[in-house]
């Protein structure tokens, strides 16, 4: 594997160097293909080992403009900051386009921990605190304040189960983080991630369609994206919306 240095100020510790032994192919495109995501409209949690996206042109997450703060439903502000840095390591923005940060994967995870993933809330509280404590004790700073090479080295140690204090263990927590980050980057935007359809555009997924003409099928991957959520179609509106429509005398949907 050819070693690359895509960042200034890190010396020889590029992402490719740090992850050389963990990745079969470090490019983000091949990461996504390997995860079976290309052509998929939505993804579920994927327990994948040996995966941290590499070859990013990003600098340390601290140099990225801070996103406007918004109300959190489950995470604390400190937890959200730590998680944002982790997501940025897992699916970074690069020459191919935006990543988990721009897709607002953290927003998706926060919403999910307040709803269908509520059972994982305690695991996140314990795990994110353990990552910060490990970073503080070994590097002198919290995880989000560290340069990218040090953040990646900690995540590699977590993936290899070399850090204690996680539920069920370090590698299990890493796989959960990775799966939820993928979910938040490529989910239907209705659920809080994939902002502005950046995840679907990355995969060249043209969007939800209730029907496809022969010309649409022939266009294949070149079909222009419609940038529509499934819930932009009346057929897929939530039950509460349908009930409201019925109450107002309109036609409801099953």
pLDDT band (50, 70, 90) for residue 11: very low
User: Is it the case that residue 135 has pLDDT exceeding 80?
Assistant: yes
- Cβ neighbors of 243 (< 8 A, separation 6 or more) are 252
Residue 237, pLDDT score: 66
Domain ranges of the chain: 15-205
pLDDT band (50, 70, 90) for residue 70: low
Residue 231, pLDDT score: 86
Q: Rounded CA gap, 107 and 88, in Å?
A: 13
Angle at 145 between CA 140 and CA 150, to 5 degrees: 70
User: Is it the case that residue 241 has pLDDT exceeding 70?
Assistant: no
Q: Rounded CA gap, 8 and 216, in Å?
A: 44
Stronger pLDDT, 228 or 49, i.e. the higher one: 228
Range in 18-22, 127-131, 151-155, 246-250 the model is least confident about: 18-22
Residue 211, pLDDT score: 80
pLDDT band (50, 70, 90) for residue 13: very low
pLDDT band (50, 70, 90) for residue 62: very low
Residue 29, pLDDT score: 46
Q: Rounded CA gap, 76 and 14, in Å?
A: 31
Top-confidence range, 15-29, 41-55, 79-93: 79-93
Give the orientation angle of helix 170-186 with respect to helix 148-159, to 10 degrees: 120
Phi, psi of 94 (to 5 degrees): -155, -165
Q: Rounded CA gap, 46 and 110, in Å?
A: 18
Instruction: Show the DSSP H helices in the chain as ranges.
Output: 15-19, 28-34, 77-90, 100-103, 105-113, 121-139, 148-159, 170-186, 198-203, 214-219, 239-247
Contact 28, 185 (CB under 8 A): no
69: left (phi over 0), alpha (psi -120 to 50) or beta: beta
| Residues belonging to the chain | 254
Residue 151, pLDDT score: 96
Q: Rounded CA gap, 254 and 247, in Å?
A: 14
Give the orientation angle of helix 170-186 with respect to helix 121-139, to 10 degrees: 110
Q: How far is CA 157 from CA 11, 130, 152, 163, 180, in A?
A: 21, 13, 9, 6, 19
pLDDT band (50, 70, 90) for residue 38: very low
Mean pLDDT of 56-81: 67
Average pLDDT, the chain: 74
Q: What is the pLDDT of residues 185-225, one digit of tens each?
A: 999 999 999 999 999 998 888 888 778 888 888 887 788 88
Q: What is the pLDDT of residues 100-133, one digit of tens each?
A: 999 999 999 999 999 999 999 999 999 999 999 9
């Amino acid at each position: 594997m050819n070693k690359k240095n895509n960042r200034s100020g890190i010396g020889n510790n590029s992402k490719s160097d740090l992850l050389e032994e963990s990745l079969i192919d470090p490019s983000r495109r091949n990461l996504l293909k390997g995860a079976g995501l290309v052509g998929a409209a939505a993804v579920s949690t994927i327990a994948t080992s040996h995966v941290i996206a590499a070859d990013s042109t990003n600098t340390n997450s601290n140099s990225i403009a801070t996103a406007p703060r918004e109300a959190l439903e489950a995470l604390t502000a400190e937890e959200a900051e730590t998680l944002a840095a982790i997501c940025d390591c897992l699916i970074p923005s690069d020459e191919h386009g935006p990543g988990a940060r721009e897709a607002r994967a953290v927003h998706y995870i926060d919403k999910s921990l307040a709803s269908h993933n509520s059972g994982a809330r305690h695991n996140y509280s314990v795990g994110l605190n353990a990552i910060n404590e490990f970073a503080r004790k070994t590097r002198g700073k919290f995880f989000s304040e560290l340069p990218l090479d040090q953040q990646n080295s900690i995540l590699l140690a977590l993936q290899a189960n070399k850090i204690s204090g996680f539920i069920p263990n370090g590698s299990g927590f890493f796989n959960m983080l990775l799966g939820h980050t993928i979910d938040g980057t490529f989910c239907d935007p209705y659920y809080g991630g994939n902002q502005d359809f950046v995840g679907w555009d990355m995969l060249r997924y043209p969007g939800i369609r209730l029907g496809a003409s022969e010309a649409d099928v022939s266009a294949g991957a070149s079909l222009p994206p419609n940038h529509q959520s499934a819930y932009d179609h009346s057929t897929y509106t939530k039950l509460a919306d349908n009930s409201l429509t019925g109450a107002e005398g309109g036609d409801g949907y099953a």
